[in-house]
Chain A
Amino acid sequence: MIDVSGLTKFYGPRTAVSNLSFTVNSGEVVGFLGPNGAGKSTTMKILTGFMPASAGSVKVNGFDVFESPLDVKRSVGYLPENPPVYLEMVVEDYLKFAARIHDVPKTKLKGAVDSAIQRTGLTQVRNRIIGNLSKGYRQRVGLAQALVHDPKVLILDEPTVGLDPVQIIEIRELIKSLAGQHTVILSSHILPEVTATCQRIIVINKGQIVAQDTIERLTTRMRQGLLYTMSVKTPSEKGISALQSVSGVKSVSPEGGKLLIEIQPEQGELRDRIVEVAVAEKMGVLEFAAEKLSLEEVFLQLTTQEKSV
């Protein structure tokens, strides 16, 4: 459904996105994960045809974004970071306008608007002026706008930012319900958000893809790089450096009374060796445990490392 290859975008001398390649299949919900300024919004703007790429090709629904932007735009619903709502308009009128400019035929106009209102839970406020609505409702109006022409592809830029917890859950449920009928790409810098809604994540940092996989596979892959904690009586300098010199150990850092020992990925079993060294160095081992890397840490690790996993 979406085919991106070699996508690159420069803003003047600054590279916003470099050599991005990925595909999204029909009906899939994919999360774009990355810290602020990673290039998520830029990529999305290019996917919607709002902005041209400096290099590379983007195909949405079989149409090239550069060659036939209008066909792409017709099959895409886009919710930018700030919902593009006209504050002086009434919700229903606004959605009618959005439907009209997205080529919804006159006979289907009312039905399209009604169904968008229903799906985003705007029934109560359909006759109110958007400027008088709360941030959460405005966000929903923005989402309804993206849905109103029943697009094949939905591109949602940080759809839950600025919402309260209840609203966040509602929007997430809504996005999940879109899977199957729509192909959805959403961006976020919050991990739980992506885990809650997406089947697959693309982690992006500094304009490059760091990892892309299903969430389960990504965690397993990351778990191979393990973190152990060891409580010792005497965390001597000599002992620490001895531990560090064990092959396969990436770093040893004292934290409180504990030593955090990070292992390089795919090193196999090292626990025996580590404890042996600690005992030989007479550090007085009190406790030794393996720590599972939470997704949050995976993410941190993914985005703070240059290296691809």
Chain B
Amino acid sequence: MKFSFKKMWAVAFRDFRSYFTSPIAYIVIAGFLVIMGWMFFFNLQHFVAQNIQYKQFGMGKGASLTEGIIRPLYGNMNVIFLFLVPFITMRLFAEERKLQTLQLLMTSPMRLSEIILGKFLSALLLVFTMLALTSFYPIVLILFGNPDAGAMLSSNLGTLLLTSCYVATGVLFSAMTENQIVAGALTFAAGLFFWLINWASQSAGPVWSDFLDYLSLIQHYNNFSQGIIDSTDVIFYLSFVGIGLFFTHRVLDSYRWR
């Protein structure tokens, strides 16, 4: 029997909807938008003030919109996602195990991969919704300025890819425990660790430092923020997600044997 996309989406949409029948989605989205709005507003204000100053003192052009607004905006967004994704993913498997609804999924004619991808996609859909809601900011920039559309698009793509790595880690840790708090905390810790992993590269040897840089989640984001979509980075993020989901598969499969 082939992989069934139908059943995968059935799981994805059920979980996506349950984000909205519980307070989770509203709280996470509201928090996200408030913080993003706050950041965008003061970022913009600062940028405008700086540009006026530059003009007044004849120091030439200030920072470009890409450098002055888009980069910090999406850079900040990545940090906020690092904080928020654990809240989104922690329930995915942990709650189902605790309430024993996982038995329904595990005794239905579904492959584990269909269940896991469905869960992953449900969380990613919520992230995507949040990202879509922030398209308000680029629209403001386009209406009142002349931003680099390419940089904005690639920043969005980069953010989505980077965040999907957090989501994959979240899915993995949620599958490892019945306790949602534990799952959330581990997800956050792991996300932060892979973010900061290249701090060690300064004291490591040449080969190791390259390796650690390569592993760093944020390192691969730099190109996206400048409007460059490099297949190396895309492949890195996709493999990160793939490995996370593969481990989830192993973890869930191992439960059956206990």
Contacts and interface: CB of A to CB of B under 8 A. Distances in A.
A100 B10 contact: yes
A70 B14 CA distance: 21
A87 B7 CA distance: 21
Interface stretch (B49-57, B103-111, B161-169): B103-111
B34 interface: no
A302 interface: no
Contacts of B144: none
B107 A76 contact: yes
Given A11-B258, A80-B103, A88 B22 contact: yes
B18 interface: yes
B207 interface: no
Contacts of A98: 104, 108
B93 to A, nearest CB: 14
A22 interface: no
Given A102-B108, A103-B109, A86 B18 contact: yes
Contacts of B10: 97, 100-101
B7 A84 contact: no
Contacts of B105: 101
A52 B257 contact: yes
Interface extent on A, as a size class? 20 to 34
B143 interface: no
A78 B14 contact: no
B13 to A, nearest CB: 9
Contacts of A103: 4, 7, 109
A51 interface: yes
Contacts of A11: 258
A70 B256 contact: no
B107 A70 contact: no
A275 interface: no
Contacts of B99: 84, 87
A52 B258 contact: no
A85 B6 CA distance: 21
Nearest to B9: A100
Interface string B100-120: 111111111111000000000
Contact of A49 (B4, B22, B107): B107
Contacts of A49: 107
Contacts of A78: 103, 107
Given A52-B257, A70-B1, A101-B7, A88 B111 contact: no
Nearest to A90: B21
B103 A51 contact: no
A89 interface: yes
Contact of A50 (B1, B11, B22, B256): B256
B205 to A, nearest CB: 45
Interface in A235-270: none
Given A76-B107, A84-B100, A85-B101, A100 B6 contact: yes
A108 to B, nearest CB: 14
A73 interface: yes
Given A50-B256, A52-B256, A101-B11, A84 B104 contact: yes
Given A51-B256, A85-B101, A73 B21 contact: no
Interface in A79-115: 80, 82, 84-89, 97-98, 100-103
Contacts of B7: 100-101, 103
A145 B6 CA distance: 19
A101 B108 contact: yes
Contacts of B109: 70-71, 73-74, 101-103
Given A48-B107, A84-B104, 15 more contacts: A50-B107, A52-B256, A52-B257, A71-B109, A73-B107, A73-B108, A76-B107, A84-B101, A86-B14, A88-B22, A89-B18, A98-B104, A101-B10, A101-B11, A103-B4
26 contacts: A11-B258, A48-B107, A49-B107, A50-B106, A50-B107, A51-B256, A52-B257, A70-B1, A70-B109, A70-B110, A73-B108, A74-B109, A80-B103, A84-B99, A84-B103, A84-B104, A85-B101, A86-B101, A88-B21, A88-B22, A97-B10, A97-B14, A98-B108, A101-B109, A101-B110, A103-B109
Interface of A: 11, 48-52, 70-71, 73-74, 76, 78, 80, 82, 84-89, 97-98, 100-103, 145
